[in-house]
Structure 1
Amino acid sequence: MDLEEFRALPEWPLILRDSWETNARWWQAGFTEGGDAEYEEQIKPIVREGLRGARRVLDLGGGEGQLARVLARDGADVVVLDSSHAQLVMAHERGSTGVLGTGGSLPFVTGCFDAVLICLVLEHVVELDEVFAEVARVLARGGRFLLLLNHPILQTPGSGFIDDVELGEQYWRLGPYLHQDIQMEEVDASVFVPFVHRPLSEYVNRASAQGLALVHMQEPAPPPGFLARAVEYQEVQAYPRLLVLHFERRS
């Protein structure tokens, strides 16, 4: 569905909230506590390095707090904000401080964090401008904003890995990159997750409009643990699944 059409639906906040509440246990079982190679081999090291030295950190959309715990072990005071009650219950059980809320209306005073982390969240979020405005508001001047995304070029509507047996070819099919779209994708058996596609320029320009300046960008190759999942994945080892954007609050 076109993104603006979806946002015109009065029930869209409930649709998104219920999706993550329903799928919280699925996420916790498959992507936390060492369950996912991309988190263990790639995401956690990138987050540690990108936020090294930060002392007061907001992990926005941080779920059950696995990245917050990584940063806490490095000496940071981390608050996890998430819209899912089930995620925050688990965060508390695993030793993280959690607050129920949404990125478009943060319950924190202005300038109270020296770093904000958003990891694999904004591709599921509709209110992008509101989130960036709030990130800029709660960041102290000179504060860091680390944003990790599923790479937009590989998350276009209709994209995916194709194994063409008849032609003997394997490739990644791309969809309409410039079109902003939202789809409820079945990522596992009976597990539906909302994916919002936007081109990269939307993230950079909308963040810049809020005084968040892009200072560095990473497009790392998939880690060995991901490539080992299937022989076919060797054909896409030069395709970046992850996009990492480092911003700084300049104004």
Structure 2
Amino acid sequence: MTSETERDPSRDLWEEHANWWIDGFTDGADPEYEEQILPLAAGELGDARTILDIGCGDGQISRMMASVGATVVGIDPTWNQIRVAHERGGGAHYARSTADELPFADASFDATVACLVFEHIDAVDAAIAEVARVTKPGGRFCFFLNHPLLQTPGSGWIDDHMIDPPEQYWRIGPYLVESESVEQVELGVWIRFIHRPLSRYLNTLAEHGLVLERMLEPAPPPGFLERAPEYVEAATVPRLLYLRLRRT
């Protein structure tokens, strides 16, 4: 077992700031979830009968899939997220667990899903090995990430007024360098992120028998772009990366 001194340090920030996520990104509050992530997850998971939702948060994907008849288990290391998931109900089952030590037997699930989770996990190799272990051969892993181009530390929109006419462009930080950062996502709210290049994920997934079958880099949805005039310029930069992987 992982000792308290060795555990993922991002967990304490998530416990402290769980309400930031629950209030801002669940229960219809976030257009990227409502217009893009949830519909995509529903389509990708639609025929799975047993599903593990890793880093389930308040359980919005778990509830959605339980509502169409799947048997769903959601796990999250954050007590405050699991508490809200239990309160919101919806037919799924929930447990507190980390992704690198899943309390399930081998080949337990038709599908596993992790939505915007792995960019907060230190033990990425162990977590991917666990995903492969509990997913049935022939089953799928539905993997949602904040796009690594978006998440690279030092990346962001640049307004260049040194040239005529002025230009706006997306600056990419040190993409190939695996690194961690603690970002202020809202006034007084700090969340820890781990940036990894896409190859780091894909090679580790393949080593554990999870083979890429589909990759999507969708444009931000209309509801997000409408939130601020400057967001219109972001329509050409993907915020989401989705990978469907098949367990061999």
Look up the SS of the partner of 1:103 in the other structure: coil
Quote the offset at 1:17 in angstroms: 1.3
1:25-52 per-residue CA deviation (whole Å, 9 max, x = no partner) reads 1110000000000000000011001111
Contact 1:115 1:145 in 2 (8 A): yes
Measured in 1, the distance between the counterparts of 2:127 and 2:105 equals 15
Structure 2 residue matching 1:233: 3-state secondary structure: helix
Is 1:97 the counterpart of 2:97 in the alignment? no
Letter in 1 for 2:139: G
Figure out how many residues of one structure are paired with residues of the other and give that number. 241
Asked if the contact 1:171–1:236 (Cα under 8 Å) also holds between the matched residues in 2, the reply is no
Cα distance in 2 between the residues matched to 1:81 and 1:164: 44
Give 2:145's aligned residue. 149
Deviation at 1:171, TM superposition (A): 2.0
- Tell whether 2:239 aligns with 1:245: no
Q: Tell me if structure 2 keeps the 8 A contact 1:151–1:243.
A: yes
Contact 2:8 2:122 in 1 (8 A): no
Q: Which amino acid aligns with 1:148?
A: F
Query: How many Å separate the matches in 2 of 1:47 and 1:190?
Result: 31
**What is the match of residue 104 of structure 2?**
108
1:4 match: none
2:17 matched residue in structure 1: 23
CA change 1:165–1:72 in 2 (3 A) is: farther
TM-score (norm 2): 0.94
Q: What is the one-letter code of the residue matched to 2:18?
A: A
TM-score (norm 1): 0.92
Counterpart selection for 2:35 from 35, 41, 52: 41
The equivalent of 2:186 in structure 1 is 188
- CA–CA distance in 1 between the matches of 2:199 and 2:29? 32
**Which amino acid counterpart does residue 156 of structure 2 have in structure 1?**
G
Structure 1 CA distance, aligned partners of 2:154 and 2:94? Answer: 35
| Superposition CA RMSD, Å | 1.4
Q: 1:86 is matched by which residue type in structure 2?
A: N
Shift of 1:161: 2.1
Unpaired segments ≥5 residues, structure 1: 1-9
In the alignment, the residues of structure 2 paired with residue 128 and residue 243 of structure 1 have an alpha-carbon distance, to the nearest angstrom, of 17
CA distance in 1, matches of 2:159, 2:46: 41
Return the match for 1:169 from 167, 170, 173. 167
> Which secondary structure state, in structure 2, belongs to the residue aligned with residue 89 of structure 1?
helix
Query: Structure 2 CA distance, aligned partners of 1:26 and 1:146?
Result: 25
Corresponding residue for residue 176 of structure 2: 178
Task: Please name the residue that 1:122 is paired with.
Answer: 118
Deviations 1:124-160 (CA, angstroms, capped at 9, x unpaired):
1111110110001111111110000011112111111
Distance 2:207 2:62 in 1: 28
Q: Distance in 1 between matches of 2:178 and 2:76?
A: 24
Q: Is the contact made by 1:170 and 1:232 (CA closer than 8 Å) also made in structure 2?
A: no
Paired residue for 2:227, among 223, 226, 229?
Answer: 229
Q: Note the C-alpha offset of 1:162.
A: 2.7
Partner of 1:136: 132
Contact 1:184 1:194 survives alignment (8 Å): yes
Query: 1: distance between equivalents of 2:192 and 2:64?
Result: 27
